[in-house]
Amino acid sequence: MIQVQTRFLGVVECPEESVITFPAAIPPFPDQMYVVIAKEGSPYFFLQSVTTPDLCFITLPVQTLDPNYRLALEPRDVEMLGLPSPESQRDLTRLTILTIPERGAMTANLAAPIIINPSRQVGVQAVRSDGVYSHAHPIGAGVEG
Amino acid sequence: MAFIHMRIRSGLGLKDRSMLVLSRKVGEGFMIGADVEVVVLGFEGRTAKIGIRAPRHVPVVRKELQAVAAQNATALALPAPDRLHSALLEAQQTILGQGRRQT
């Protein structure tokens, strides 16, 4: 087990095999490894750096927000995740990073979801260039009018 | 080395900044300042392969990644704990409400 100093939950013990590497980083933060910690009694997950307590994103599973979300991985993402083929996406963990402003609606980054291959504990931030989803998809006020 | 170039204005989402447009063949390139060399290496379908030689202190970042990095940095700056708590609860209720409507 490793001790992770977290942003919100104090020190959390995590199995070493739960640590996720991001070969292309979550920009602009190079050389960080992360763990995913569920926020109890809620749909949220913390994407917490194991070495930098303040580097912690609040995320939601993409399917919680949009059950019909269509994933689009670039060839370099498929390669980094170590997928046997571009189609083998069924078991991937998909998280969307939330932005919570002082005022106004929370937003989710559906244009660049965090994709993790749990069998290899490798992740990427899969940046879409097709413009289908927004970097700031509003949650709550304003959705669907 | 004769460049074909022109300046274009707006219409491409460029707002008030004009853009220099160059036509280059594979293997040709151009310089940005004295230190940055850009070469067109080839094409694969609709993808252009670009080679860039720049000093270490000049960051080279895919344009879409710069926007992602900015969004990530914004996401890390969270509001005060009480506002954060209520925002998370409120969104949670919205999300669960949507789920109920869909089923």
Query: How confident is the model over A51-93, as pLDDT tens digits?
Result: 999 999 999 999 999 999 999 998 889 999 999 887 888 899 9
Q: Interface pTM (ipTM) of the complex?
A: 0.89
DSSP bridge pairs for A137: A108
Rounded CA separation B68/B46 (Å): 23
* Residues 6+ away with beta carbon under 8 Å from B76: A54, A55, A56, A57
Chain B contact present for A72, CB below 8 A: no
Q: In this model, does residue B84 exceed pLDDT 90? A: yes
- Domain assignments of chain A as residue spans, ordered by start: 2-138
Q: Which of A28, A60, A102 sits opposite B73 (nearest CB)?
A: A28
Q: Helix (H, G, I), strand (E, B), or coil: what is residue B26? A: coil
User: Which single residue is written with the structure tokens 């290496």?
Assistant: B41
% chain B with pLDDT above 90:
50
Chain A contact present for B60, CB below 8 A: no
Residue A40, token pair as written in the block = 């109890």
Chain B contact present for A129, CB below 8 A: yes
Regions of chain A with pLDDT less than 50: 142-145
Per-residue model confidence (pLDDT) at position A69:
95
Please give the class, per CATH, of domain A2-138: mainly beta
Q: What is the mean pLDDT of chain B?
A: 81
Q: Helix (H, G, I), strand (E, B), or coil: what is residue A137? A: strand
Contacts of A136 in chain B (CB under 8 A): 71
DSSP bridge pairs for B30: B38
Per-residue model confidence (pLDDT) at position A77:
93
Rounded CA separation A116/A81 (Å): 7
> What is chain B's alpha carbon radius of gyration, rounded to the nearest angstrom?
23
Cβ separation A140–B91 shorter than 8 A: yes
Rounded CA separation A19/B80 (Å): 29
The mean pLDDT of B35-61, rounded to a whole number, is: 91
The size of chain A, in residues, is: 145
Instruction: Say which range, A17-26, A111-120, B13-22, B71-80, has the weakest mean pLDDT.
Output: B13-22
**Cβ(A8)–Cβ(A22) under 8 Å?**
no
Q: Helix (H, G, I), strand (E, B), or coil: what is residue A75? A: helix
